[in-house]
Amino acid sequence: MKKGDLYYLTTIPKTKVLITKNYNKRKFHDDDSHFNAFPSISIVPCIDVIVVAGEHYGARETYVQSEFKHYFKKIEFDNENR
């Protein structure tokens, strides 16, 4: 998954999205069960996309990568010269 790749929604194939950004989001956990009551931090890989075809055309959305992989499939091209 990289910037510029096209994907389609498996449940509604007319909906296509373009990846605009990959990043790691930090998630803080305020549990007292950790060492010296310090909050723990998780790194969650996320993806920003823009809908380029379908009902929500032009909408910007954010997904967790594991969620995105479950619902979207990459559109493959025979010749990917950019």
Q: Domain for residue 1, yes or no?
A: no
Number of domains in the chain: 1
Q: At 74, is the pLDDT very low, low, confident or very high (cuts 50, 70, 90)?
A: very high
Mean pLDDT of the chain: 87
pTM of the predicted structure, to 2 decimals = 0.76
Q: Domain for residue 59, yes or no?
A: yes
**Domain containing residue 30:** 6-74
**pLDDT higher than 90, residue 79:** no
Nearest alpha carbon to residue 26 among 50, 11, 44: 44
Residue with tokens 């994907």: 7
Q: Domain for residue 40, yes or no?
A: yes
Q: At 32, is the pLDDT very low, low, confident or very high (cuts 50, 70, 90)?
A: low
Q: Beta strand 16-29 with 6-9: parallel, antiparallel or unpaired?
A: antiparallel
Q: Domain for residue 81, yes or no?
A: no
**pLDDT higher than 70, residue 31:** no
Return all residues near 52 (Cβ < 8 A) that are at least 6 apart: 6, 16, 17, 18
**pLDDT higher than 70, residue 82:** no
**pLDDT higher than 70, residue 23:** yes
